[in-house]
Chains A and B, each alone.
Chain A
């Protein structure tokens, strides 16, 4: 039978608006305003999951983002699913379906639960110790571990939702809308600061908004009423922006913060259509005020993890806010006054309290007297020693604490209950503060870490700064604000405050038990199942640093980052190791404060917006002619143009033959182009290339090799002298931006005296390259006014020309070894020039070819591709390109490095050609090259860098790098592959036309 545990109307609930939802397949209903956890508790559902390691039944523990247990998987009718959602944060909507996450096969019958009985075998470091060997078993272990412990299921379909990023610049950011946050936001906005107030909850007001009793008053009103008025006022302020359901995930230096604004998760599914789901706010604030509040501490005692054990403050919130009783027989267990605030609420709501167990012996507290008036038994100086009930708590044992709090004494008392609220005091939520680089100090009185030094223009106020009681907050907050904003007064300077909390606390990190430690299960980290015993074991095994203890025991390493138990872990370490808390320090809190969805992180940068595509001016032609494309950097380059049913190999073979036998045409627009001008342009080229440039005549082109200062090949390309002080440099497609950056760097920082100006003109020109023995005939038809005779226009020279009225530059340069002309023309005309060439080449079977054929043709000639045949460890000497390194020049970038002891080693990897014994056997690029396969281990001499079947040579050819390869000409080597060894012979890397006859060949 399903019980209804709704009491008097909760503040956040609209009881006229019923919402039905499903949890683990069962149908329930709640009201508008409920979270999944409040709705479940209203239906008397506490058991929501299984613990990570021991698979113990676990229940809802908190009412906020610190929740360690109630982590669920959300589903909807489509394939949409989301893991790791905190039931305490998700607001229910019509049609919500959720299920327990960490259990298999079901939450009520859980195979992993057997780990609980095996637990003596599962100590700290168990996973490290057990599953690490033999390593060959890992696959089997992994299956078992993942299945039984898995942290939810990831979706299998693409995320259908839309996410956005937004930049916000503000004068003041206030994080948290509790009473101190509201005061801060109002003060900031009223003093003329453009202010942003964010809160992770759907409502403003923090915990004070449900503080409705005569014991807490401001200016003669109950504190909640006073705060409600303040909230209504700030909503009218024009320079204050308020964002709810917005949690700050990260606080970086220079007051840069990331926040996630949740826009649709609370809406019924059908209302989410066409709306942005989450927004990632990138906030740059001049000033930041953290009013992030504090998190109630649990207590560490035996079996402190049963369903039905909640934080006392959560019980209060569920009653006040959602009108939900967490149990019918409640016991509260505390070491401070907070539990009495809960008790007063429960009394007001008519919820039964069996007893209160208080660690403290003598307590002078107005709240306690009020509770006593209601005939509620209070056990002073007692502690809980054990709890009972498997899927729900049903009984606890309590005993008297010894004077020093180290032992329990006297006889055991049993109390039956169905809900136990615990309060171990409060921990300031300093996570964001420490992320920003802030340093903490330890306050001995109440054993808390509070902000000490601020690394940027920021302030912490309220309970995150260690002010826990209403009077402290109302006195200290205005004081801090005045100093922070440098203002004389605030409207909060003379408030009349009634605050009844007694600040005394009896802090015992690990409560004593009548059992020996080895027999207890006192959980410190609920999500990762680490116990006090585990921490002590880690210390016994020699771990000292808290960061090491954390990793060994996995304490604080769950999705909740140990928001509840980290302080206790520190306390236990401190007591056991005899070190002071303040000196131990805390573990590092890392962003995000609460988990972010991947969608939020990537925003709109998905699919076609993931990266920029660069297209050449001729791109549409390639598309129309069915080219396949390849990504080269951000460029889409035509790869090959398959005809009919051709595969890539067939297309490339056809294109390569056509280019050598008649004519081919290539879109070379992607090559980097840098315009170089200035009186020192020649000197500049002398310094950046390995060869000499001063004597290059105007109208001539030259190939250049550019090194890094370490002597390794960086880029290559042809540079043309257009005028006395004017050059145009081409770079590799992928290297263009880096080359430009590097040259600018040298010009600005090393050689500012040079009169040289660089301009990137890559996008300004289209480049159409026509090659092959018939290229001259074709190009003469396209540009009839130009004299293309070898005498007038020899290889490696350039002419200005006109196509119609349009100026263009024609270079006679070749990357294929064929006679070849490149027309450079203003980008807009690229496609029409290409089409003109196609038209003129019709009779010569002009064949468009892509990058694959270009690579094959240049490999036949032994021309390198920087980045394919080189890998930043190759010098020009290694490439057998000694000819291009000037001996005469005094200096150029990288020159000195060419005779370092390392670069002159004889056994460096050097570029060679390789021919296979079987001419039809094409080698795999990247394959290893060895000499002896019988030696163990096999000595790797090098690897294949380029490999093709050459239709022009009718055999397989390859380039590779081999240790000492230069002197191995003719030597037999072996390419060991999975199924066979392939015999190869070292050859000259120039396979075709070594004499370069084809450059001037006449048909």
Chain B
């Protein structure tokens, strides 16, 4: 169980948070213009990498805010945390 440094509350136990899957998948502005394949790409396709992954997390049992986490899935090391709308850090 790791510790997440909520950008609004500070360090809290992982059990207070809810994982929200891959980050930076933007909902298409005009879904009706998309082909089935393009829509399916948005709807279903998610990365599941062993290594550094960009993820969304929600402080569900705290401030309820969503934010982004860069996590190494192989050892749960958190490399960066940044708010929604902020630019992801470049390595």
**Are A437 and B75 touching (Cβ within 8 A)?**
yes
**Are A749 and B84 touching (Cβ within 8 A)?**
yes
Give complex CA distance A108, B36 in Å: 72
Q: Which residues of B pack against A, CB within 8 Å?
A: 1-3, 18, 20, 26-27, 30-32, 34, 36, 39-40, 43, 56, 58, 60, 64-66, 75-76, 84-85
**Are B32 and A890 touching (Cβ within 8 A)?**
yes
Cβ of B15 to closest chain A Cβ, rounded Å:
10
Pick the residue among B1, B32, B36, B85 that contacts A254 (CB under 8 A): B1
Assuming the contacts A253-B1, A253-B75, A745-B58, asked whether A900 and B32 have C-beta atoms less than 8 A apart, the reply is: no
Assuming the contacts A895-B32, A896-B32, A896-B34, asked whether A745 and B66 have C-beta atoms less than 8 A apart, the reply is: yes
Give complex CA distance A803, B30 in Å: 49
**Are A750 and B27 touching (Cβ within 8 A)?**
yes
Cβ of B22 to closest chain A Cβ, rounded Å:
12
Residues of A within 8 A of B1 (CB): 252-254, 256
Residues of B within 8 A of A800 (CB): none
Residues of B within 8 A of A900 (CB): 36, 39-40
**Are B31 and A891 touching (Cβ within 8 A)?**
yes
Q: What residue of chain A has the Cβ atom nearest to residue B68's Cβ?
A: A749
Residues of B within 8 A of A921 (CB): none
Give complex CA distance A752, B85 in Å: 9
**Are B40 and A748 touching (Cβ within 8 A)?**
no
Residues of B within 8 A of A455 (CB): 75
Q: What residue of chain A has the Cβ atom nearest to residue B44's Cβ?
A: A710
0/1 string, A531-574, CB within 8 A of B gives 1: 00000000000000000000000000000000000000000000
Pick the residue among A252, A253, A895 that contacts B31 (CB under 8 A): A895
Pick the residue among A254, A437, A741, A752 that contacts B3 (CB under 8 A): A254
**Are A891 and B32 touching (Cβ within 8 A)?**
yes
Residues of A within 8 A of B40 (CB): 900
Give complex CA distance A252, B3 in Å: 12
29 pairs, A vs B, C-beta closer than 8 Å: A253-B1, A253-B2, A253-B75, A254-B2, A254-B76, A256-B1, A256-B2, A437-B75, A455-B75, A709-B43, A710-B43, A741-B58, A741-B60, A744-B58, A744-B64, A748-B65, A749-B56, A752-B84, A752-B85, A890-B32, A891-B32, A895-B31, A896-B31, A896-B32, A896-B39, A897-B39, A897-B43, A900-B39, A901-B36
- Besides the known contacts A253-B1, A745-B20, A901-B36, 5 further A-B residue pairs in the complex with CB atoms under 8 A apart: A254-B76, A741-B18, A745-B66, A752-B84, A896-B31
Give complex CA distance A284, B60 in Å: 21
Q: What residue of chain A has the Cβ atom nearest to residue B26's Cβ?
A: A750
User: Which of A741, A749, A752, A900: most chain B CB closer than 10 A?
Assistant: A749
Q: Nearest 3 pairs between A and B by C-beta?
A: A896-B31, A254-B2, A748-B66
Assuming the contacts A253-B1, A455-B75, asked whether A749 and B31 have C-beta atoms less than 8 A apart, the reply is: no
User: Which of B31, B58, B75, B85: most chain A CB closer than 10 A?
Assistant: B31
- The size of the chain A interface, using a CB distance under 8 A, is 23
Give complex CA distance A437, B39 in Å: 39
Cβ of B58 to closest chain A Cβ, rounded Å:
7
Give complex CA distance A652, B58 in Å: 43
Residues of B within 8 A of A749 (CB): 56, 66, 84
Q: What residue of chain B has the Cβ atom nearest to residue A256's Cβ?
A: B1
Residues of B within 8 A of A710 (CB): 43
Residues of B within 8 A of A897 (CB): 39, 43
Residues of B within 8 A of A901 (CB): 36
Q: What residue of chain B has the Cβ atom nearest to residue A253's Cβ?
A: B76
Q: What residue of chain B has the Cβ atom nearest to residue A437's Cβ?
A: B75
Q: What residue of chain B has the Cβ atom nearest to residue A892's Cβ?
A: B31
Residues of A within 8 A of B32 (CB): 890-891, 895-896
Give complex CA distance A254, B14 in Å: 11
**Are A748 and B2 touching (Cβ within 8 A)?**
no
Give complex CA distance A891, B43 in Å: 15
Q: What residue of chain B has the Cβ atom nearest to residue A748's Cβ?
A: B66
Q: What residue of chain A has the Cβ atom nearest to residue B85's Cβ?
A: A752
Residues of B within 8 A of A741 (CB): 18, 58, 60, 64
Residues of B within 8 A of A709 (CB): 27, 43
Residues of B within 8 A of A252 (CB): 1
Residues of A within 8 A of B66 (CB): 744-745, 748-749
Residues of B within 8 A of A744 (CB): 58, 64, 66
Cβ of A753 to closest chain B Cβ, rounded Å:
10
* A243-259 residues at the B interface, CB under 8 angstroms: 252-254, 256
Give complex CA distance A857, B20 in Å: 38
Q: What residue of chain A has the Cβ atom nearest to residue B1's Cβ?
A: A256
Residues of B within 8 A of A890 (CB): 32
Q: What residue of chain B has the Cβ atom nearest to residue A900's Cβ?
A: B36
Give complex CA distance A110, B54 in Å: 60
**Are B84 and A748 touching (Cβ within 8 A)?**
yes
Q: What residue of chain B has the Cβ atom nearest to residue A902's Cβ?
A: B36
* A841-897 residues at the B interface, CB under 8 angstroms: 890-891, 895-897
* A449-476 residues at the B interface, CB under 8 angstroms: 455
Q: What residue of chain B has the Cβ atom nearest to residue A436's Cβ?
A: B75
Q: What residue of chain B has the Cβ atom nearest to residue A740's Cβ?
A: B64
Give complex CA distance A256, B15 in Å: 12
Residues of B within 8 A of A752 (CB): 84-85
Give complex CA distance A814, B60 in Å: 33
Q: What residue of chain B has the Cβ atom nearest to residue A745's Cβ?
A: B66
Residues of B within 8 A of A437 (CB): 75
Give complex CA distance A895, B31 in Å: 8
Give complex CA distance A308, B33 in Å: 80
Residues of A within 8 A of B27 (CB): 709, 750
Cβ of B18 to closest chain A Cβ, rounded Å:
8
Q: What residue of chain A has the Cβ atom nearest to residue B76's Cβ?
A: A253
Q: What residue of chain B has the Cβ atom nearest to residue A737's Cβ?
A: B60
Residues of B within 8 A of A253 (CB): 1-2, 75-76
Cβ of B1 to closest chain A Cβ, rounded Å:
5
Q: What residue of chain B has the Cβ atom nearest to residue A891's Cβ?
A: B31
Cβ of A760 to closest chain B Cβ, rounded Å:
10
* A372-413 residues at the B interface, CB under 8 angstroms: none
Give complex CA distance A294, B65 in Å: 47
Q: What residue of chain A has the Cβ atom nearest to residue B83's Cβ?
A: A748
Give complex CA distance A748, B32 in Å: 23
0/1 string, A436-450, CB within 8 A of B gives 1: 010000000000000
Cβ of B12 to closest chain A Cβ, rounded Å:
11
Cβ of B55 to closest chain A Cβ, rounded Å:
13
Residues of A within 8 A of B3 (CB): 254, 284
Give complex CA distance A750, B43 in Å: 14
Residues of A within 8 A of B56 (CB): 749
Residues of A within 8 A of B85 (CB): 752
Residues of A within 8 A of B58 (CB): 741, 744-745
Residues of A within 8 A of B26 (CB): 750
Give complex CA distance A437, B72 in Å: 13
Give complex CA distance A900, B20 in Å: 24
Cβ of B40 to closest chain A Cβ, rounded Å:
7
Q: What residue of chain A has the Cβ atom nearest to residue B27's Cβ?
A: A750
Cβ of B62 to closest chain A Cβ, rounded Å:
13
Q: What residue of chain B has the Cβ atom nearest to residue A752's Cβ?
A: B85
Give complex CA distance A895, B27 in Å: 13
Residues of B within 8 A of A745 (CB): 20, 58, 66
Residues of B within 8 A of A895 (CB): 31-32
Cβ of A322 to closest chain B Cβ, rounded Å:
39
0/1 string, A738-775, CB within 8 A of B gives 1: 00010011001110100000000000000000000000
Q: What residue of chain A has the Cβ atom nearest to residue B78's Cβ?
A: A254
Q: What residue of chain B has the Cβ atom nearest to residue A901's Cβ?
A: B36
Give complex CA distance A710, B45 in Å: 13
Cβ of B67 to closest chain A Cβ, rounded Å:
9
Cβ of A538 to closest chain B Cβ, rounded Å:
29
Cβ of A259 to closest chain B Cβ, rounded Å:
15
Residues of B within 8 A of A750 (CB): 26-27
Q: What residue of chain B has the Cβ atom nearest to residue A254's Cβ?
A: B2
Cβ of A840 to closest chain B Cβ, rounded Å:
41
Give complex CA distance A437, B74 in Å: 9
Give complex CA distance A750, B26 in Å: 7
Residues of A within 8 A of B31 (CB): 891, 895-896
Cβ of B10 to closest chain A Cβ, rounded Å:
14
